[in-house]
């Protein structure tokens, strides 16, 4: 009897221990942040920059996974391909929430995808961290509680290029701003429309002579009629917002039809992927400009927090391993890396330590607490997010782009003057096939 009772007692202890162990294991499993990551890994947007943003985010996420997570929370990423289609982006976002049971979403390259996805994810009350898309329409008057964007807005991109042209009008072009003939062309999605709106508003304020403003479908198979219209407008400056395929098509047809101008300024997306421009257009891309957040490899190290420098080095090394044939490291990789690092290193630890976890409300409060001065991110700008009641709720008020110029397979910051690495080459030199002869 004693043996039987002892056996039953020991069995009870074992069962209790196993139950306790199971509960402890379950608790440990619960301490995890599951991130749904959405970019375009196929279709035209993949080569236009989205796949590079995916790479930048993945480098940072993998970095934190290798470190064992954040504040006791393991990190798990589930990647999805939006296939360059808004409807697929929405379906993938829903799948990640409903089937994969992710805690939050991160990524989004295309503004045409961000607009509907942000609205859909808001219905699920899930946190959304948009690393890339820039259209003001994503956030303007939406008053989302859980959607945040560290990027500057498209209107800021548009304003930046106009301010640059206005400041150089007399010295470089030899014309008063009112006499400078400006053409604004853009893909007709949310991204292109927003940047062009910023172009137009800033041009009107500066008194520039906008002789043409027109949108087009990024999927158009022929842009020769648009090129003909631009020729008739006799532009000094072309402000263009587009993706890689339509940029390539436009400029090839522009050369064939003899379009001439003194400067061309692109605004992110396809203009931010130099390797693709070079591959499709060769040396024709020499002296073109691009508006984007600064490349983390062009930022002044002395102006950044010292602890960011080894992270920038690590991102560059991983980039080189993934893309060994790259001539100019694309700002896109660094952009996504910086914006993902901002979340992983600043927001997530604060949510866990100060607000008790990784649910949407904890992440929201932690994001609104962020107050980072200039030099506090790898992109050089700071971070402070608009609250829910603001017109641009969720927008980083301290984000800002720069203008780089491509010269002989190098990218150099030329604007604003405080960050310029060298003076801008204006107008196009005679060696360019687009130069006014």
Question: Residue-wise pLDDT tens for the chain (437 aa)?
Answer: 444 444 444 444 444 444 444 444 444 456 999 999 999 999 989 988 899 999 999 999 999 999 999 999 999 999 999 999 999 999 999 999 999 999 999 999 998 999 999 999 999 999 999 999 989 999 999 999 999 999 999 999 999 999 999 999 999 999 999 999 999 999 998 889 999 999 999 999 999 999 999 999 999 999 999 999 999 999 999 999 998 889 999 999 999 999 999 999 999 888 988 888 898 899 999 999 999 998 999 888 998 999 999 999 999 999 999 999 888 888 899 999 999 999 999 999 999 999 999 999 999 999 999 999 999 999 999 999 999 999 999 999 999 999 999 999 999 999 998 888 999 999 999 999 999 98
Element (H, E) at 260: none
Distances (CA, A) of 42 to 51, 95, 247, 345: 8, 18, 18, 29
Q: Could you tell me what percentage of the chain is helix, strand and coil, using 3-state DSSP and rounding each to the nearest 5?
A: 50, 15, 35
Specify the pLDDT at position 297. Answer: 93
Specify the pLDDT at position 11. Answer: 44
CB 351 within 8 A of CB 363: yes
CB 263 within 8 A of CB 240: no
Delimit the CATH 3.40.50.2300 region(s) of the chain: 31-152+303-369, 155-292+401-419
How far is Cα 224 from Cα 230, in angstroms, rounded to an integer?
10
How far is Cα 73 from Cα 371, in angstroms, rounded to an integer?
24
Domain at 155-292+401-419, CATH class: alpha beta
Specify the pLDDT at position 29. Answer: 55
Distances (CA, A) of 416 to 65, 161, 206, 360, 381: 37, 10, 17, 37, 13
Which position has the token pair 């980072």? Answer: 372
Question: What's domain 31-152+303-369's superfamily in CATH?
Answer: Response regulator (3.40.50.2300)
Specify the pLDDT at position 92. Answer: 98
Specify the pLDDT at position 30. Answer: 67
Q: List beta partners, residue 404.
A: 290, 413
385 phi and psi, to 5 degrees? -105, 140
Q: pTM value?
A: 0.83
| Residue of 188, 230, 195, 186 whose CA lies nearest to 211 | 230
Specify the pLDDT at position 1. Answer: 44
CB 223 within 8 A of CB 183: no
Pairing mode of beta strands 237-241, 289-292: unpaired
Q: Can you tell me whether residue 261 is helix, strand or coil?
A: coil
Cβ neighbours around 111 below 10 Å, total: 26
């Amino acid at each position: 009897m004693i043996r039987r009772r002892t056996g039953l007692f020991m069995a009870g202890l074992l069962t209790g221990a196993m139950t306790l162990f199971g509960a402890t294991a379950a608790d440990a499993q619960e301490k995890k942040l599951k991130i749904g990551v959405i970019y375009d890994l196929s279709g035209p947007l993949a080569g236009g920059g989205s796949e590079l943003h995916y790479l930048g985010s993945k480098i940072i996420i993998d970095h934190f996974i290798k470190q064992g997570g954040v504040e006791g929370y393991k990190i798990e990423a589930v990647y999805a391909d939006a296939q360059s289609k808004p409807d697929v982006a929405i379906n993938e976002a829903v799948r990640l929430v409903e089937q994969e049971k992710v805690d939050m979403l991160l990524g989004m390259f295309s503004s045409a995808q961000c607009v509907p996805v942000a609205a859909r994810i808001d219905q699920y009350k899930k946190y959304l961290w948009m690393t890339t898309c820039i259209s003001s329409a994503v956030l303007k008057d939406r008053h989302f509680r859980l959607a945040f964007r560290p990027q500057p807005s498209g209107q800021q991109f548009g304003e930046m290029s106009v301010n640059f042209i206005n400041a150089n009008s007399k010295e470089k072009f030899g014309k008063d701003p009112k006499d400078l003939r400006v053409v604004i062309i853009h893909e007709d999605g949310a991204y292109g429309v927003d940047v062009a709106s910023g172009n137009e508003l800033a041009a009107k304020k500066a008194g520039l002579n906008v002789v043409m403003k027109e949108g087009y479908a990024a999927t158009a198979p022929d842009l020769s009629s648009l090129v003909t219209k631009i020729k008739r407008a006799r532009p000094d400056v072309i402000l263009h917002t587009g993706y890689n395929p339509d940029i390539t098509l436009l400029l090839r047809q522009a050369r064939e039809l003899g379009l001439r101008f003194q400067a061309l300024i692109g605004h992110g997306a396809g203009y931010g992927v130099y390797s693709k421009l070079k591959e499709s257009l060769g040396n024709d891309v020499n002296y073109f400009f691009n508006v984007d957040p600064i490349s983390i490899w062009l930022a002044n190290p002395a102006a950044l927090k010292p602890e960011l420098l080894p992270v920038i080095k690590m991102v560059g090394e991983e980039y080189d391993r993934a893309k060994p044939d790259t001539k100019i490291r694309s700002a896109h990789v660094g952009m996504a890396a910086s914006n993902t690092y901002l979340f992983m290193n600043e927001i997530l630890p604060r949510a866990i330590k100060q607000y008790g976890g990784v649910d949407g409300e904890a992440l929201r409060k932690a994001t609104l607490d962020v107050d980072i001065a200039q030099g506090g991110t790898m992109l050089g700008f700071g971070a402070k997010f608009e609250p829910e009641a603001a017109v641009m709720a969720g927008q980083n008020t301290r984000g800002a782009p720069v203008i780089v110029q491509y010269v002989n397979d190098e990218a150099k910051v030329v604007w604003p003057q405080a960050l310029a690495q060298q003076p801008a080459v204006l107008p196009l030199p005679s060696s360019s096939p687009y130069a006014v002869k």
